[in-house]
Chain A
Amino acid sequence: MGGHAEVRPFFFILSIFYCGIASSRTIHVGAGRTYKNIRTALAISADGDTVLVDAGHYKEQSLVITKRIILKGVQYPVLDGEKKFEIIAVRANGVVIDGFRIVHSGISSMEDLSGIKIYDRKNVVIKNNILEDTFFGIYTQNGSNCIIQNNQITAFAKEEQQSGNGIHCWKSDSMQIIGNSISGHRDGIYFEFVTNSVIWRNLSSKNLRYGLHFMFSHNDSYIANYFSNNGAGVSVMYSHGVKMLGNVFEENWGDGAYGLLLKEITDSYIEGNSFVKNTSGIYMEGASRITMQRNLFKDNGWAMKIQASCMEISVSSNNFISNTFDVGTNGTLVLNTFDNNYWDKYDGYDLNRDNVGDVPYRPVSMYSMIVEKNPPAMLLFRSFLASLLDRTEKMIPSLTPERLKDNKPMMKKIF
């Protein structure tokens, strides 16, 4: 008797599950199907249904998804917003959008018209879509636990005002942004008030402003992404608990372009990244308690610019190779530590052969100090005077911060 009582709830759960499967249907949409357009299919669909869309060109104005369905394209059917509409609005939990080519959303300076927009929902999955010429690409507001994966997002605007962001998340939590490639937008990936999220293996290049831009977004991880050739690089502001691992920041040349801009960032961790060919590899302002290790800084104008407002930055075991200037700073107060880095400009010696140089290395050159104070002095870049100043300063330091030095410079590349 007792045993029977225990079995009954199990059956109950099973029967609900069974009913779920029994009631879920697959609705086909296409020229030769019952439903010629997606709008009508959506109207008759119920939670759990799959709407399967054949290849074709669909002008549906705005699609609003209010049920927990799987919307799946077969061979990339085109959803055309005719430069007027927001193409898909997700207003249900657990929706999956998979395999569409979404083109020509409207452009508006009042609303953030998007290719796909998630409104206050959770567990939404947007994957394998191609977005072209959308104002905003994939937009999440108040989302949580959503996955945005393997989408290709391309825009063609020439000016920032004409363009929104590729992947835009606002007030969201536990997001997963994985394997997308974004180019030509204002910002490739944009986070504002987004927490506990991961950005992994994305490719963000040739965006007008930032490859990645986030503010007030705490405890997020950025892993193995590739940011190159963006107007101003990557910008990270007003956040704490940021973890950046194994990313590549490359080819951000230009006035005010940075590989990585850190502003008011605390308690963060930057490891194993490569900063190559940027005007400034990392620019830090008001940052504190940041650990930077095993990063590569190569061929940058400035490998690192640390403003005097930064403190407790620990820079250790990094490689600095053929940068024009290694470190630039604007003040004399130094509350940061440099240890065990490899600097290719180091010309000290190692008598006891422990692979650690016996005299400290000063990564700040006098000329970089002058330029920091007076930017037009860049006019004298690579002049004889500039190199003369640097040489004298090396012998008798006066202008450069006394305490900004690596006491244990490595004799060989660390990795």
Chain B
Amino acid sequence: MITASNISKKFGKLKALDDISLTCNKGECIALIGPNGSGKTTLIKSILGMVVPDSGTIKFNGANILHSWQYRSQIGYMPQIGRYPDNMSIGDVFDMMKDIRGPQNVLDEELIHLFGLKEQMKKKMRTLSGGTRQKVSAALAFLFDPEVLVLDEPTAGLDPVASEMLKEKIIAQKRKGKLVMITSHVLSELDELVTQVIYMQEGNLQFHKTIDELHAETGENKLSKAIANVMLKTSHEKNH
């Protein structure tokens, strides 16, 4: 569904993405992991068209996304930090997004109900806590029942209950055959979710493996341990 081939991006001297190629398909839930500044966010932004790679192409359903914008109607994006114009109410934000997407969409308001946002529709964005804003962001990402979900640190700032609801929702979407991309620091959270792992470091794609491959290679069941194991191996290899 999404194919990136040889994309590179530099911010000044910093190589944010260094010749990265990957393919993501329907029904997968991919974890993008790596330390801070490894290029995860840049990769996501490239897919969303916020960052234009210096070289390489990204294709969405076989079409180059460069200069294109219509493809984004099939993406639901949940940003890491959700900030909205201060004086808009939650209701305004949803209304505006509905206006932008047009009326033809089937709305999935499940999260709005689960998070109890329906009752707070009149509240101004500036009065909301960070957690509530995250809930709004999450609800927005799923609202239009998109084919692809891009979630940037989705559980950061959410309370455990909401966090759990969101996870369930993600799993449900995956089962429906959607493509889900998640970045996260908290690897333990991803255990039940992901089918594939992309590990990035300093702009390089270190590996892209299915969860089963990882388990087989490392013999670890926990994602965090498996990753640590792989990291050790690779650093060993480098040293030799």
Chain A–chain B contact at Cβ < 8 A: no
Report A's interface with B, CB cutoff 8 A. Answer: none
Report B's interface with A, CB cutoff 8 A. Answer: none
